Amino acid sequence: MSTPINPRPFHVGELQAHQAAGFDTPGAPIRELMPDQHRQFFSSLRFAMLATIDHDGWPVATIATGPQGFIFSEDSQHLHFSASTRWQESFIPLLTEGQPLGMLGIEFSNRRRNRANGHVTAFDSDGLRVQIAQSFGNCPKYIQARDVTNEESDQLSFTSKSLTDLDDEAKLLISNADTFFVATSSGNQEMHGAGVDISHRGGRPGFIRIDGNTLTIPDFIGNRFFNTLGNMLVEPRAALLFIDFATGDLLHLQGTTEVLWQSTETSGLAGAERLWRFHMTSGWRKSHAIPLQWTLREVAPTTTATGIWG
């Protein structure tokens, strides 16, 4: 039996984004339940990206890791992160009942990704249980093919540093990045389709411009759902998460955003349809924060067709 598709999956910010971009609102295979292939995909993963909001309403992004099978689905309405899940400690206090969650399952080796959004129903000694509200797939564009080079370890030590400005180490990681993740929220939880979202962004190293504490980021052609930019229109606060794939270091930034729907700057950046800016307000960097590292196997063909800042 097929999984029903929500005929009206977009909230007001996403509808405004479609209009600002000059597109008709697209049809979207966004389901209120997970099809079997999505359930099976999540159970095959060794990591997943998650987003929620903190106690002040700021989006927060994280990566959860574990042995294959640490995520599983008992039925089409629920995902369960087992007790073996390795969480970033600062994320754990936010996992309270009713808390909204955005989830992205992504497998770099085959460029597959699926999204699932919902809310926490329980977090206890058995792990995290999530009620699903939206489930949908994303295309493989701009995902660089990478292979995991090590196994999970019980021994993981890291150092952490809080940031009020982008220091040299943070700037170097951003400058070298071909991938990052952005967490956004639709803010008003009473809106239809409201919640939290985490999405992938990819490009050639140098596709993010750094001006002090401001990052300028191109928006390359995608699925035109505008989940991320639509959220930014109703709630400009966002969080960015960068991973050093060679070391397992993490860089997490919070800040405010603005979308530049029409900008002459896009003319010099191949593939950019528009830009958005991120103004950092706070952040942290952790060394060796996760036990997985990856080696780059192939840059996505869609990525090689895009430009970088001169």
Residue 300, pLDDT score: 97
Residue 1, pLDDT score: 45
3-state secondary structure of 236: coil
Q: Give the span between the Cα atoms of 122 and 131, in whole angstroms.
A: 9
Burial (CB count within 10 angstroms: exposed 0-12, middle 13-18, buried 19+), residue 277: middle
Residue 153, pLDDT score: 57
Alpha-carbon torsion 255, 121, 131, 37, what sign? positive
Q: Give the span between the Cα atoms of 101 and 59, in whole angstroms.
A: 10
Per the listing, tokens 């129903």 go with: 121
pLDDT in tens, the chain (310 residues): 455 555 457 888 888 888 887 777 666 678 889 999 999 999 999 999 999 999 999 999 999 999 999 999 999 999 999 999 999 999 999 999 999 999 999 999 999 999 999 999 999 999 999 999 999 888 899 999 999 987 555 556 678 999 999 999 999 999 999 999 999 999 864 444 458 999 999 999 999 999 999 999 999 987 777 889 999 999 999 999 999 999 999 999 999 999 999 999 998 899 999 999 999 999 999 999 999 999 999 999 999 999 999 8
Written as six digits, the tokens of 233 are 């229109």
* pTM of this structure: 0.93
Residue 20, pLDDT score: 81
Residue 166, pLDDT score: 98
Residue 14, pLDDT score: 81
Residue 268, pLDDT score: 84
Q: Which residues of 87-121 are buried (b: 16+ CB within 10 A; e: fewer)?
A: bbeebeebbeeebbbbbbbbbbeebbbbbbbbbbe
Q: Which domains does the chain have, with CATH numbers?
A: 12-301 (2.30.110.10)
Residue 157, pLDDT score: 62
Torsional class of 303: left (φ above 0), alpha (ψ -120 to 50), beta (otherwise):
alpha
